[in-house]
């Protein structure tokens, strides 16, 4: 049995390494693996059930997530949380929403940037997006987890690199009928929604929309400085809505 599992992992690893976007698929696999072994998935019997599980989840988010009120105190553990929080998600919906959008927009962006540059771009922009949110909400004691800041940066870069790429979206207010729009329509519309939501956001648990805006701006700005004219139009895989699931504040 162990031999079969090992062989399956080896084949999966070779498939990822030979793909056109191995970093994107590796990031998706890593985020899924971290979620499945952690208490947020609810699948690990070691974390218990009921109140024990909730307590384990709170402790887990506080250990690996960004807590703005503690981030700038100077401790080594807190300083590392902008990086660790990128791979932690608060729920199944949070994880699947983020990974879907990374899958849809990450592969083409990685192919354009290259593997090493895309990796540094993803992690760097994701950390800066979390730091930006923490700086504005320095008194908040809520744990902030999720890859949405990094994925928002990917969306910003995608908008600059492929503005005329047609994105197929399934919009809830159109009864989830597939509609194809160019990226220059879909992604600015998403950014506008984040801006409006950020203005209404409370200090309690929820979605850190400001981190999305910071990430999106960083991604678009980086791509505009680093690259020349945008790439010719192409098609993009379907997505369920023009927005990733947000950074989660459990």
pLDDT tens by residue, 163-211: 888 776 655 444 444 556 677 777 877 777 777 766 665 544 456 788 8
Pairwise pLDDT comparison (248 vs 52), residue with the higher score:
52
Between CA 2 and CA 12 the distance in angstroms is 15
Architecture of domain 2-249: Up-down Bundle (1.20)
Q: Is 11 exposed, middle or buried (0-12, 13-18, 19+ CB in 10 A)?
A: exposed
Strand 166-170 vs strand 235-239: parallel, antiparallel, or unpaired?
parallel
Split at pLDDT 50, 70, 90, the class of 50 is confident
* CB 158, CB 235: distance < 8 Å: no
Question: Which residues carry out catalysis?
Answer: 148, 212
pLDDT in tens, 75-107: 777 889 999 999 999 999 899 989 988 998 999
- Residue 163's SS3 state is coil
Its pTM stands at 0.80
Say what the pLDDT of residue 76 is.
Answer: 75
CA distances, 124 to each of 119, 176, 215 (Å): 8, 34, 10
* CB 155, CB 103: distance < 8 Å: no
């Amino acid at each position: 049995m162990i031999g079969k599992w090992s062989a399956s992992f080896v084949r999966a690893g070779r498939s990822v390494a030979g793909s056109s976007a191995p970093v994107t698929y590796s990031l998706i696999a890593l985020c899924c693996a971290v979620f499945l072994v952690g208490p947020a998935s609810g699948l690990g019997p070691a974390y218990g059930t009921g109140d024990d599980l909730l307590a384990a989840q709170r402790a887990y988010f506080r250990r690996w997530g960004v807590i703005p009120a503690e981030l700038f105190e100077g401790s080594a553990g807190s300083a590392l949380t902008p990086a660790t929080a990128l791979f932690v998600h608060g729920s199944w919906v949070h994880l699947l929403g983020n990974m879907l959008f990374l899958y849809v927009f990450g592969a083409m962006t990685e192919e354009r940037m290259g593997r090493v540059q895309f990796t540094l771009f993803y992690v760097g922009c994701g950390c800066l997006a979390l730091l930006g949110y923490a700086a504005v909400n320095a008194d908040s004691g809520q744990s902030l987890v999720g890859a949405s800041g990094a994925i928002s940066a990917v969306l910003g870069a995608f908008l600059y690199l492929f503005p005329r790429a047609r994105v197929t979206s399934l919009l809830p207010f159109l009864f989830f009928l597939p509609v194809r729009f160019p990226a220059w329509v879909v992604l600015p519309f998403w950014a506008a929604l984040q801006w409006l939501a950020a203005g209404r956001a409370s200090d309690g648990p929820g979605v850190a929309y400001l981190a999305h805006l910071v990430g999106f701006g960083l991604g678009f700005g980086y791509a505009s400085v680093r690259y020349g004219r945008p790439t010719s139009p192409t098609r993009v895989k379907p997505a369920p809505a023009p927005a990733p699931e947000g950074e989660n504040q459990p």
